[in-house]
Homo-oligomer: A and B are copies of this chain.
Amino acid sequence: MKNSERPIGVFDSGLGGLTVFKELRGLLPGENLIYFGDTARVPYGTKSPEAVIAFSKEIASFLIGRKIKLLVVACNTASSLALEEVRRISPVPVLGVIVPGVDAALAVVQHGGRILVTGTSGTIKSRAYSKALAASGSRMQVMEKACPLFVPLVEEGWCSKPVAAAVAREYLLPFRKKKIDALILGCTHYPLLKKVIAGVMGPRTRIVDSARAAALAARAELAGRSLLNAGKRGRYEFVVSDAPERFSALALRLLGIRTGKVKVKRF
């Protein structure tokens, strides 16, 4: 197999990372993709850094064993807590979703503007986005808000129910009057609540989706290494650590993705 034909590995705590998968598929239709969802241990957002690091390294090793050419850590919590540890064991480049998300926010916010980062408890507690924003040299005013109920809301398929708006108001209404220029959807599940979140924040606030930004970063990374695959139509493979049928059904219902047969790899 030519190096460029090797698959891109994508992993997430569950199915949220499929938003990244979908962007990769749309942007790079020739690439072969292998997606891993850690459905036996989802969610990561409330777990300790030690646990998230251990889980992420296990999954990275599995994907590296599948001869990937690039590893995309689609999970914000794992990107926040485990990226360095995964890079240490990986012979191929490893991309997270934090820096792409920050870059996407900086592209739409004026110097000195206000950015609200939303995410799981783990992501927000790590302050990964704040640190990346600070490291970018931009002088933004950064606020952060953990929204732990968003993931189960999405997994319940309630994205357009009034309850979703009620939960979003509970978390975000206090920020509406703070004149936020951009809100970063710092969790791969959150793009599915984009409309609801935009509704609470009002028209002033741009909603920044790191899934699209991560796919663009992956393309740039591969182009820089001459590893883009010129193939016509990529092959897709899905592997989970538990409950493959549920994963397949939710992928179709929430994201319109037909997975075909989903494999199981237990740790």
Contacts and interface: CB of A to CB of B under 8 A. Distances in A.
A167 interface: yes
B163 A51 contact: no
Interface string A130-166: 0000000000000000001101110110100111001
A242 B182 CA distance: 34
Copies assembled: 2
Interface residues of A, number: 28
Interface in A31-75: 39-42, 46-48, 50-51, 54
A85 interface: no
Point out which of A46, A167, A170 has the most chain B C-beta atoms below 10 A from its C-beta. Answer: A46
A246 interface: yes
Given A41-B41, A48-B242, A149-B152, 8 more contacts: A42-B46, A46-B243, A51-B266, A148-B152, A149-B158, A163-B163, A163-B167, A163-B170
Interface of A: 39-42, 46-48, 50-51, 54, 148-149, 151-153, 155-156, 158, 161-163, 166-167, 170, 242-243, 246, 266
